[in-house]
Amino acid sequence: MTIIKFKKENSSVESKHPANAHVQKSFLHKSPDGVIYSSDRKTLIHCPKTFAGHFDVAQGVETIGIEAFAGCKQLLSLSIPESVRKICMLAFAECKSLQQITLKSIQTIQISEDSFTGVDKTNCVIQIPASVISDYKNDIHWMEFKDIVALKEMIEFKVENRKQVI
């Protein structure tokens, strides 16, 4: 197995998967919390294994890369915006503490059979828009999650430009 090292400004990230080789030259953005994105910020490449708690994937990200969160054993919950279309293989491998995933897209997000290897799919709750519940429950990979529930919809009220959750 080849280990590919990504380097930028006194930091490095290792990816053991050869499919990540294409991003070696293109990644240029590292957030203050250590998360690495492709230069166009459309692919989330790596989250530090020491990350703990809730993670909000940035709006505009379209792909969560191979092994991006692999081994983040203290990741508890995750919010994925409408822009995400694909979660690559082993993206959340061994995220053993993951308890809740909120998906905001009304399109089914493409995943592989091993995107969530090591996640307790019996106890991890998937929250999605009500209009796509049956799509997820019938998807060959998403159906492995036993608790797929409706996300409370955001409704905009024009009164004072405020949003309220109902």
Compute CA distances 3 → 14, 35, 72, 82, whole Å. Answer: 6, 19, 19, 32
First to last CA, the chain: 50
Range from 25-39, 72-86, 137-151, 152-166 carrying the lowest mean pLDDT: 152-166
Per-residue model confidence (pLDDT) at position 20: 53
Mean pLDDT of 142-159: 73
Q: How many CB atoms lie within 10 A of CB 152?
A: 12
The CA distance from 81 to 103, in Å, is: 6
pLDDT tops 80 at residue 10: no
Q: For 4-165, give the CATH class.
A: alpha beta
Q: Residue ranges of the domains in the chain?
A: 4-165
Mean pLDDT of 22-28: 50
Per-residue model confidence (pLDDT) at position 33: 86
**Average confidence score pLDDT of the chain:** 83
Q: Which pLDDT tens digit goes with each residue over 53-106?
A: 999 999 999 999 999 999 999 999 999 999 999 999 999 999 999 999 999 999
20 in Cβ contact with 2 (< 8 Å): no
Enter the tokens of residue 13: 């990230």
